[in-house]
Structure 1
Amino acid sequence: MSAPEIKVKKVKSPFELKMQFFGLPAALIVFGLFYSTPVPVGLSYAGKMALGVFLTALILWVTESIPNYTVSLLVIVALPLLGVWEEEKAMGVLGYEVIWLTFAAFIIASGMEKSGLAKRLALNLITRFGKSANSILLLLMATNFLIAFVVPSTTARAAMMFPIVLLVIEAFGTTLNDPKNNLGKLLALQGIQSNNLSTGAIVTATSAQIMAIGFIKDLTGQNISWTYWFIASAPVTILTLLASFFIGKLLFKIPASNAKINLSLLEEERKNLGKMSLVEKKALVIFGITIALWAIDTRQIHLFGFQLSLVMVAILSAALFFMPYLGILKWKEAKISWNLLIFACGAYAAGVALDETGVAAWGLNALFAHLGIENMSFTVIFAVIMLIASFSHFIFTSKTVRTIILIPTIIGIANATGINPVALALPAAFCISDTITLPPHSKVNLIYYNTGFFNVLEQMLYGTLVLLAKWGLMIIASLTWFRFIGLV
C-alpha cells in the first residue's frame, strides 16, 4: 500500500469568513482610536502606540484578513515610524537567536523528511513489537514521541505517521462501515494526541516553543537549554500520554473481534524500504551529532574546550545537511517557510516592544489591583495560568500567536507578584502544543480528521478529558518534580 501525498487545506467556516471580512475595518478602527486618544496616565506615548500596533496586528493575525507575513512586515515599518522603537532594533529582530533557530529547524526537518529515517523507525517498531491492539496503540505513541526528537515539525511528523496509521487500520481489518470501529477511532485520535502532546517534551519539536524560550531569555535574562526543557517536561508528557491511552480505552472500548492484527501489510511495507540507504545513514549521523551536542549542553566545555549554544548547534546541523559528500540536501530541497519566518519577526518585534515600552507592566499592575492576585498563593496562580495556557487554543488556533500573547503576559504576572517568571512561563510553554480538541486547531488534526473515523464531538470530549488530566499532572509537578529540579 503506497500512501499518497498529504495535502490539507483548511476550509473556512461561515464565522471565519465573516471574521476575515470584518477584520481589516476592525483593525483600522482600533488603530485610529489608539492614535487619536490621549496618552493614559502612567504610560508613555511610545507605550500607547506599541499597544496600538500590537492589538491592530493581533486582530489581523486572528481574522486573517490579510496574510500574516504582510502584517508582520507592516509591524516592522510601523514601530519606528510611530516612534515606538528604533529602526535598527525593529529590523534587527531578523538577527535574533529565535529566528535563526527556527530557520535551522526548517532545514533539519527537510533533511530528516527526505531521508525517510522516521518511517523506517516506525515500521520496525510496529512489526517487531506490535502483537495486539493495546501494544500497537502504545507503540504508535512511543514512535511519535521518538520521532519528535528527529523531526522538528508537527505537520511533517503527521505526514510521516499518517500513512502508517492507515496501514495499521487496514491490517486490523477495520472499516468505516463497521459499527464497532472504535479501534479506527482510537488509532486516529491517539495519532493526533501523541503527535501534539509529545511535542511538549522537546523544545525543538515546533517553532512556537523555540519562540517561547526566546521570549523567556530576552524578557528574563534566563537561558533555557534543550536538556533542561526535556528534563522538566518529559515526565509530565509521558504521564499525559499514558493518561491519554487509558482515557481512550475507557471512552472507546475495543471488541475482542477487532483486536487481531494481520502484520503482513506492514511487513511488506517495511521490506519495500530495503536496507538502510546511504542517505538515511548520513541523516542518522548528522542528527545523532545534533542530539548529542544538545544533550551534553554545558558539559561541552569540559569535553571539547568550547561550548556551542542550542542555536549554534542547530545552525551547525543545518550546515552539515548541506555539506558536499556528508550532507543530503541541496538548497532548493530545503522546505524553509519564509512566510512563517517573516511572521515570527513581526510578532516577536511587537511582543518585545510591548515589554520595552512598559506597556505590559502598566496593564498588568492595573489588572492586578482589581483582582487582588497578589494575595493568591503560588499554587492557585500556577493552576489558573496552566489552565489558560492549555485551553487558550480554543480562542487562538495559531501556536505562534498564543506564544506571543501568553509568554510575555505570564512573565509580567510573575514579576508583579514577586514569583520567579520562569516558574510560570516555562511550564506554560509546555502547553503550547495542546491543540487536540477540535479539527481546525492544527494541520495535524485535519490530517487525521480526514480519515472519517471520528467526529468533532468525539475529538472534543476525548481531548478535553486528556488536557484536564495534563492540567492535574502539571499542578502535581509544580509541588513535586518542578521543585526538585529547581524550576519552582
Structure 2
Amino acid sequence: MSNNVKLAIPILVAVFVALLPTPEGLAVNAHYFFAVFLGVIVGLILEPIPPALIGLVGVSFCATFGLVGESAKEARNWALSGFSNGVIWLIFAAFMFALGYKKSGLGKRIALLLVKKLGKTSLGLGYAVAIADGVLAPFMPSNTARSAGTIFPIAINIPQMFNSLPDNEPRKIGSYISWVAIAATCVTSSMFLTALAPNLLAVSLVEKNAGVIIDWGTWFSTLAIIMIPLFLAVPYLAYLVYPPEQKYSPEAPKWAAEELRKMGSITKNEILMLGLGVLALVMWIFGKEIGVNSTTAAIAVLCLLVLSNVITWEDVITNKGAFNVLIWFSTLVAMAAGLKKVGYLKWASGLISSWLVGLDPTMIVIVLMVLFFLFHYLFASVTAHVVALLPLFLGIGMNLLPAEMMQPLAMLLVGSLGLMGIITPFATGPSPIWYGAGYISQATWWKLGAIFGTLFLGALILLGFVIL
C-alpha cells in the first residue's frame, strides 16, 4: 500500500462517518468529533505520517472548527489540556531514565552479567534474557527501547555463536531466545506501571473517565499476583512449547565475560545511574506515604541525572523520541477526553450497556476484559487500542457495575495492555524487531501467540476472580 493511499484512507473514513445521519440522542458536534476521532485512530494504525503529527492534526482540526466547547477559549483549553497532564511528563522523564541506562552502559552491563552467570544452558540463557528485561522494566517506559534497543543487540549475538541463523538451524537456539525475549517483555510491560508508556496513558484516562486513581504501588501490588508467576514461568513454558535443539551453551558465559572485560570496571556514571534509578523507584512505590507525587519524583530525578552528568542537557533537548511521545500522548489524551466532553461516550456506552443488562456483575467484568484483550487483534498499536477502546469500556462498566467494582475492572483492563502484545508479530513495539530477526516464521508466531495469549488471558481471568 502506497503512502498516499495510507494518507487518504483516514481522511475518507472521517468524511464517510461525518456524512452519515447523526444517530438519535447524539449531538451533531459529537457525531463530527467521533468522525475525526475515528480518522485519527485509523491514521495511527496505518501511520502515513508520524503518530504525533496525526494526533496534533486531529486536535487542531477539532479546536479550529469548534467541535469541542462552546467558545474559542474553551476549545483552546481543551486542545492544550493534554500537555498539562502529569502522567505525560512522567513518561517524558522516564524516557530520559532509559537514555541514562543506555549512555552510562549500565543496561548492557546488567544483561551481560546475567548471561555470564546463567548462560551455561539454553534454559539459563532464556532466564538471563528475561531477567535482564525485568530488571530494566520499571525504569524504561518504552518496551521497544528496552527489548529491541537494549536486550536485542546482546541477545541476538548468542545464537550466532552456535551458527544458529535464520536460514541455518534457527530452532537450534535462536528461535527459543527470540520467543522468550518477546514473551518476557510482554509480561514485564504489564507487571510495572512504568514499563510501558501506554500504561501511564491508560491510568490517566481511567482517572479522567472513571475517577479511579491507580498509582505505582497499587498497580504492582494488584498485578504482581499473576505477573510474577507468569514472568518466572515464561522461559520454562517456552522451553516446553518451543524447545531449542541445543540444550547446553558453554560458549555464552565466555563471550559475556569477554564483553564485560572490554567494558572495564563499573564507572562512576553507572553507579550514579543505579543509585538514582533506585531513588526514583523508592519514591514511586512510597510516594503516597512520603507525600511526593510520582511525576514530581521523576522530574526531580531527571534533574539529578543532568546535574550529575549521567546525561547532559543537550541529551534532554535533542531526545526526539521523548518529545515525540510528549506531543503524541498529549494530543491523544485530549482527543480521548473530547469524547467524554462532547457526550459521545455517554451515548455509546449507554447503547452497548443495553446489550449486557441482566448479566451477573462479575460476568460483565470478565466479558469486558476478554473482549478488550481480543480486540487487540485489530490493532498494531497499544496506544491506539487504549485511546479507542478504554474510555468506552470504562463507560460501559460505569453504567452496569456497582461503584466498588470499577477499580477491579480498571485494573484488569490496564493490566492486559502489556500481555496483549504477544498475540501477533505487530501487536507491540518490539514485536517487529524480534520477528524481523528471522528466527520465527509468521505462521509459527501466530500459533505461539495464540497459545501464550490464551495463557496470559487465562491468568487475567483468574486474577479477576481473586480481586472481584
**In terms of mean alpha carbon deviation, does 77-86 or 468-477 score higher?**
77-86
Q: Is the 8 A contact 1:24 1:65 kept in 2?
A: no
Q: Which runs of 4 or more aligned residues in structure 1 lie more than 6 Å from their structure 2 counterparts after TM superposition?
A: none
User: Paired residue for 2:193?
Assistant: 203
Cα distance change of structure 1 residues 177 and 91 upon mapping to structure 2, 3 Å threshold: closer
**What is the Cα deviation at residue 208 of structure 1?**
0.7
Q: Deviations 1:354-399 (Å, cap 9, x if unpaired)?
A: 1123211211212222x2x121223332332232333333211111
User: Paired residue for 2:292?
Assistant: 308
Q: Is the 8 A contact 1:154 1:199 kept in 2?
A: yes
Counterpart CA distance in 2 for 1:65 and 1:260 is: 44
Counterpart CA distance in 1 for 2:117 and 2:240 is: 27
1:253 and 2:267 matched = no
Counterpart CA distance in 2 for 1:122 and 1:290 is: 21
Q: Is the 8 A contact 1:236 1:470 kept in 2?
A: no
Cα distance change of structure 1 residues 366 and 414 upon mapping to structure 2, 3 Å threshold: same
**In terms of mean alpha carbon deviation, does 77-86 or 455-464 score higher?**
77-86
User: Paired residue for 2:465?
Assistant: 479
Counterpart CA distance in 1 for 2:415 and 2:435 is: 24
AA matched with 2:448: Y
Residue among 421, 434, 441 paired with 1:448: 434
Alignment of 1:95-114 (within 5 A): 95-114=84-103
Counterpart CA distance in 2 for 1:182 and 1:374 is: 53
Counterpart CA distance in 2 for 1:318 and 1:226 is: 18
1:383 and 2:366 matched = yes
User: Paired residue for 1:320?
Assistant: 304
Residue among 387, 407, 410 paired with 1:425: 410
User: Paired residue for 1:303?
Assistant: none
Identity across the alignment (%): 22
Q: Is the 8 A contact 1:216 1:422 kept in 2?
A: no
User: Paired residue for 1:78?
Assistant: 61
Q: Deviations 1:111-133 (Å, cap 9, x if unpaired)?
A: 22211111111111221233312
Cα distance change of structure 1 residues 171 and 64 upon mapping to structure 2, 3 Å threshold: closer
User: Paired residue for 1:7?
Assistant: none
TM-score (norm 2): 0.90
**What is the Cα deviation at residue 452 of structure 1?**
1.9
Counterpart CA distance in 2 for 1:390 and 1:17 is: 31
**What is the Cα deviation at residue 290 of structure 1?**
0.4
Alignment of 1:228-267 (within 5 A): 228-255=218-245, 257-262=246-251, 263-267=253-257
Counterpart CA distance in 1 for 2:304 and 2:375 is: 38
Cα distance change of structure 1 residues 442 and 418 upon mapping to structure 2, 3 Å threshold: closer
Cα distance change of structure 1 residues 78 and 176 upon mapping to structure 2, 3 Å threshold: closer
Alignment of 1:287-436 (within 5 A): 287-300=277-290, 307-323=291-307, 326-334=308-316, 335-337=319-321, 338-369=323-354, 371=355, 373-419=356-402, 420-433=405-418, 434-436=420-422
1:222 and 2:212 matched = yes
AA matched with 2:288: T
SS for the counterpart of 2:191 is: coil
Counterpart CA distance in 2 for 1:200 and 1:68 is: 23
Alignment of 1:12-91 (within 5 A): 14=1, 19-31=6-18, 33=19, 37-38=21-22, 40-80=23-63, 81-85=65-69, 86=74, 87-91=76-80
**What is the Cα deviation at residue 178 of structure 1?**
4.6
1:143 and 2:132 matched = yes
TM-score (norm 1): 0.86
SS for the counterpart of 2:426 is: helix
How many residue pairs get matched? 454
Counterpart CA distance in 2 for 1:117 and 1:248 is: 28
RMSD: 2.3
Cα distance change of structure 1 residues 184 and 63 upon mapping to structure 2, 3 Å threshold: closer
1:279 and 2:269 matched = yes
Name structure 2 gaps, 5 residues minimum: none
AA matched with 2:283: L
Q: Deviations 1:126-177 (Å, cap 9, x if unpaired)?
A: 2123331222212221221111023222111121111221232244553445
Q: Deviations 1:178-207 (Å, cap 9, x if unpaired)?
A: 547242111011111112221111111121
User: Paired residue for 2:450?
Assistant: 464
Counterpart CA distance in 2 for 1:29 and 1:223 is: 37
1:439 and 2:429 matched = no
**What is the Cα deviation at residue 428 of structure 1?**
1.2
SS for the counterpart of 2:62 is: helix
Q: Deviations 1:325-344 (Å, cap 9, x if unpaired)?
A: x2421233232432332222
Q: Deviations 1:377-423 (Å, cap 9, x if unpaired)?
A: 23332332232333333211111111112221121011110243232
Q: Deviations 1:297-355 (Å, cap 9, x if unpaired)?
A: 2221xxxxxx11111111112221221xx242123323243233222222111111111
